Chain A
Amino acid sequence: MNRRRMNKFAFLALCALFFAGTAAAKPGDTAKGKEIYDKRCTWCHGAEGDGAGAAKDMLNPPPRDFTSGNYKIKSSSFEDMAPNDDDIFRMIRDGMPGTSMPGWSDVLKEQDIWDLVAYVKTFAGYDEPPAAQVDFGTRIASSGESIAKGRKLYEEGDRCVECHGKSGKGSASKRLKGDAGERTWPRNLTKPWTFIGSSDPKDIFARLSTGIAGTEMPSFADPRSRKKLSIEERWHVANYVASLARTGRKVDAENTVIKADKVEGDLPGTPDDARWEKSTPSTFYLVPQLIAEERFFTPANDTLTVRALYNDKMIAMLLEWDDRTRSIPGDEAAEKLADAPIAEDGVAVQLPVTLPKGMEKPYFGMGDAKHAVNIWHWKSGAKGSTESIDLANSRGFREIEKRDAAGLKAKASYSDGTWKVLITRPLTTSSPDKDIQFTEGGFIPVAFAAWDGSNGEKGSKHTMTTWYWLLLKPATGTRPLVAALMIMGLFAGGLLWWARSAKPAA
């Protein structure tokens, strides 16, 4: 009897242990973790966990050095460098958007990830769980009132504005560095899909509370900080930051056609003309130039938004992108923010000289021997000089012919972290064998490139897009409507006639 009771007790205790194990972080096996790490992780993070893998200099941002003990995304208190197991688990499982770290849930099982967590922690000698956690208090739901309070705190004493700028685009007035000495840029808060630790207000609250280790983002929970915020205040700021999202600027993979509307009379003459707001924007990814020497691995610009309008004589394109720095070579303030030498900011539009018949286009990287492209290259200007636009015809990277840009005009504005460049050209030119001739209704291949001169981008070091389409939307006219009405009349008449003739007076 006694023995049976003992057995039952032991069984229950075992069950309890088992359930306790599944509910929270599972204890990982460091030896198994090392095996997975050596197969999957060393390439970037290095065999010693010091971030010195083979790809170190080609990743943007550089891979994490686990020996530093800095964990950017964590939920333990700012006073404790050690993260929670769950923080590391989440980063491995879900990955970090905007970095080279993918989510591993499709390759690794849950237990594999816990094993990895256990092993990764050993690099910094974290064998104890953190002593204190972020105090979330009571979550304050987002509301107009909370957002307004958050905005005041965000701007007060330049608390957040100092790095993230008034608009939140990270248009910096400060040069920032990471713990590996690398140049870092403040997050563009209007693009929450690029946050590496999720854009849920709860996660933003955690970032505000812990700071981001290894960067200049401080903890606003630290009572010694001049800029400190109470729990309640941090919720307001988190709600305000979440409200800054400009989802209209997110890439829509389905939208590959820039639709230019026809305008009666003059086209907008400035980038800030209100008529641009009515025009349909298309946003494309900018990827670093990796196809020709010298290749480029550390881009700062990530997307470009394009609008276009035309009238019976001209076409106008508005190119808009977030760039944290207005790069003016020779300007002291601009040079203070960047690693020397700085170059002008720039943007370029690439179009085929002759419209392709069938699907054959020029090579997307500046054309090829058989197919030339027009390149419209705008540059922001050095100190004391004005902006400029150049025209070149190229057949590949090496065969570039500079041409007179007469007819091509550009006008740009830079405001609070955003460039807007308006480029206009007559629809047709006097040299149709050398210039693209724009016509209504046809699909015209178009590609783009951009340079951030404060990020070492010059010449072949730039970001670019693949081919997309430009369509000068023909005015629809009244033909479809008239035809539709006629067809409707015919059908209705036919049906009525049938009904009448089929039914003799009853």
Chain B
Amino acid sequence: MTMTQKRRIHRLLQFALVVFGVYFGFILIFDVLLGQLIPRSLLTMYMVFVVSGALMAFTFTEEGAHELVAPIKALVEDPSRKRLRNAVFVIVPLLAGYYTYTSMSPGYEAPVELRTIHPAPPSKFKAYGKSYNLATLENPLRKYQKEGPAKYRELVKAGGDVYIKNCQHCHGDKLDGKGPYAAGLNPTPINFQDVGTIAQLQESFLFWRIATGGPGLPAEAAPWISSMPVWEHFLTEEETWEVILFMYDYTGRQPRSWK
């Protein structure tokens, strides 16, 4: 009895807080923080578990169950609340009808397509008529960064020329993924300025992605929609390594390495 005296928040309100708290928590974590929309069907399923779980917990004792439904009972039985009751009796059936109508009407939203943005690379791949081993592949031009700064600047400049002629249309001349044609593409071009992109990758991964392009992606990355051209058709091997030097130089990022 003393316990109930101490409690300030009513049990029904507690119940509502738990259910809504979990609901908005899901939305906050997935939609807002992770930026990955949680599918509505999945959310509905989770919420069924949450509501039934909370109901069981809240009605575990007889007193608890009584207290939980007390305000609802009062609403129905207390003559002084007639007005509120009438309003509830109109609103609840209307809401139920609306929910039924919208859930039974066919939806016109595009199907959700899940796609891996950074797929696991294969151990080997073919380009330029040869086979490359991704685990050991290194940028043969990287050494000039230490050994020959003048030559390195030259290579970076050459890479910049390759980039501006071929890549800026989509990835933008600020390397931010907002080139003049970016808006017409889906998936949108990668933003190289973002810390989560080239700074997390090895140069060999970039070489693989550039040389084999969209069609070279594994199935989980949806190669059929990627607009990335197969660059081995347009660029030499040397030009590909140069443009990689340029991308790290311009963004001020360092490639990841095994060391």
Contact = CB atoms under 8 A, between A and B. Distances in A.
Contact of B168 (A55, A107, A256, A441): A55
A488 B93 contact: yes
Interface residues of A, number: 66
A100 B113 contact: no
Given A257-B110, A363-B223, A368-B224, A487 B181 contact: no
Interface string A467-479: 1010101101001
A485 B96 CA distance: 9
A99 B180 CA distance: 7
Contact of A43 (B108, B111, B161, B170): B161
Contacts of B215: 363, 368
B77 to A, nearest CB: 5
B93 A53 contact: no
Given A285-B184, A496-B89, A290 B169 contact: yes
Nearest to B101: A484
A55 B185 contact: no
Contacts of B174: 102, 104, 106-107
A43 B89 contact: no
Interface in A369-390: 371
Nearest to B215: A363
Contact of A361 (B76, B180, B225): B225
A90 B73 CA distance: 66
Given A466-B225, A485-B97, A492-B89, A503 B110 contact: no
Contacts of A487: 93, 96-97, 100
Contact of B92 (A443, A479, A495): A495
Kindly name the residue among A368, A465, A499 whose own CB sees the greatest number of chain B CB atoms within 10 A. A499
B227 A491 contact: no
Contacts of A483: 100-101, 104
Q: Give the bracket for the number of chain B residues in contact with chain A.
A: 35 or more
A484 B98 contact: yes
Interface string A261-289: 00000000000000000000000111110
Contacts of A107: 174
A24 interface: no
Please list the 8 inter-chain residue pairs (A to B) with the smallest Cβ-Cβ separation, ordered nearest first.
A285-B184, A488-B97, A480-B104, A54-B161, A484-B101, A491-B93, A287-B184, A43-B164
Contacts of B219: 360
Main SS class of interface, A: loop
Contact of B180 (A100, A284, A371, A474): A100
B91 to A, nearest CB: 10
Nearest to A447: B225
Interface of A: 43-44, 53-55, 58, 98-100, 102, 104, 106-107, 251, 253, 256-257, 259, 284-288, 290-293, 295, 297, 359-364, 368, 371, 441, 443, 465-467, 469, 471, 473-474, 476, 479-481, 483-485, 487-492, 495-496, 498-499, 502-503, 506
A503 B77 contact: yes
Given A43-B160, A290-B229, A503-B76, 17 more contacts: A53-B164, A100-B168, A104-B174, A251-B183, A259-B108, A287-B184, A364-B224, A469-B111, A480-B102, A484-B98, A487-B100, A488-B94, A491-B96, A495-B93, A502-B76, A502-B77, A506-B79
Contacts of B92: 491, 495
8 contacts: A43-B163, A44-B173, A107-B174, A285-B184, A290-B227, A291-B227, A469-B110, A496-B89
A106 B98 CA distance: 46
Contact of B227 (A43, A364, A469): A364
Interface in B223-249: 223-225, 227, 229-230, 233-234
Interface string B21-59: 000000000000000000000000000000000000000
B8 interface: no
A62 B77 CA distance: 79
A98 B102 CA distance: 40
Contacts of A502: 73, 76-77
Contact of B164 (A44, A465, A489, A496): A44
Given A362-B224, A503-B76, A102 B169 contact: no
A163 B213 CA distance: 42
A87 B179 CA distance: 23
A487 B108 CA distance: 24
B62 interface: no
Nearest to A500: B76
B183 A285 contact: yes
Interface string B105-126: 1101111011100000000000
A499 B76 contact: yes
A495 B85 CA distance: 10
B224 A360 contact: yes
Interface string B154-196: 0000001101111011101110101111011110000000000
Contact of B110 (A361, A443, A473): A443
A253 B183 contact: yes
A284 B97 CA distance: 37
B12 interface: no
Nearest to A473: B108
B134 interface: no
A361 B222 CA distance: 8
A495 B79 CA distance: 15
A160 to B, nearest CB: 27
Contact of A471 (B108, B160, B173): B108
